[in-house]
Structure 1
Amino acid sequence: MSDRIILAGLRAQAHHGVYEYERRDGQPFVIDVVAHLDLARAAGTDDVADTVHYGELAVEIVESVERDPVDLIETVAERVAAVVLAHRAIERVEVTVHKPEAPIPVPFADVAVAIDRSRA
């Protein structure tokens, strides 16, 4: 499938992390999603009902990141993938979760995990 809906740089404020202060204070997370699906019908009908509404999808993704704190961003990425794949039109999803304020004692530009999941 070569058609994609791409959401880049979605921002969420959440309380994920191994350390107590991460859970207490929270921090920003940035999420990139590439959803693979067939967009031919939507292009032909010009009807949003024939695609996945990317605005609604973006809200669902951010809400999933902002709820229920966990230790690892790997777990957050899996959660996001499940939310995206709940849309039956989407066959595959690539998710990247960035943690720009990760507790690393050296200067860094980015910390992220990326996963690629397909419908079973």
Structure 2
Amino acid sequence: MAKVRILNMMFYGFHGVYEYEREQGQKFYIDVEIETENDKVAETDDVKDGVDPAAIYDIVKDVTENKRFQMLGTLAAHIGDSLLDKYSHFRAVTTRIRKPSVPISGPIDYVEAEMTRTRA
């Protein structure tokens, strides 16, 4: 198996519990960790057996910027499911999403949600 991490992708999305969050939008910072079924890429050196970071970025961007969710965990699950649906050689996808602007009355850096999706 191989693992590839793409860290701190930034997108503008419209997610949140409150309607104004889903209307005004904000920045989201996303990490994706992909685990493949095997390490075939080490033998073939072919992108179809590995992970193409540019293609992953495009899928994460599409889900984050073109859908709306109330919960970060739901967004993370949809990202993981989209990647597993597209790439049959992925075993698991872990997505971490950081949301810096949250309606909490106190100083914080961000709220983070993590979701791992695995092939059934």
Distance 1:48 1:20 in 2: 41
Give the TM-score normalised by structure 1.
0.90
Aligned to 1:103, what secondary structure does the other structure show?
coil
For structure 1, the residue ranges without an aligned partner over 5 or more in a row are none
Which residue does 1:88 correspond to in 2?
A: 88
| 2:28 pairs with 1:9 | no
Q: What do residues 87-110 of structure 1 show as CA deviations (whole Å, max 9, x unaligned)?
A: 111001111111111121110122
Q: What do residues 39-80 of structure 1 show as CA deviations (whole Å, max 9, x unaligned)?
A: 632222222232231211111111111112121111101111
1:67 corresponds to which letter in structure 2? Answer: N
- Pairwise CA distance, 1:38: 4.5
Which residue does 1:69 correspond to in 2?
A: 68
- Pairwise CA distance, 1:83: 1.3
Which residue does 2:47 correspond to in 1?
A: 48
Aligned residues, how many? 119
Is the contact between residue 52 and residue 89 of structure 1 (CA under 8 Å) also seen in structure 2?
Answer: no
- How much identity, in percent, do the aligned residues show? 30
Distance 2:78 2:55 in 1: 16
Structure 2 CA distance for partners of 1:39 and 1:5, relative to 1, 3 Å? farther
Which residue does 2:110 correspond to in 1?
A: 110
Structure 1 vs Structure 2 CA RMSD: 1.5
Give the TM-score normalised by structure 2.
0.90
For structure 2, the residue ranges without an aligned partner over 5 or more in a row are none
Aligned to 1:63, what secondary structure does the other structure show?
helix
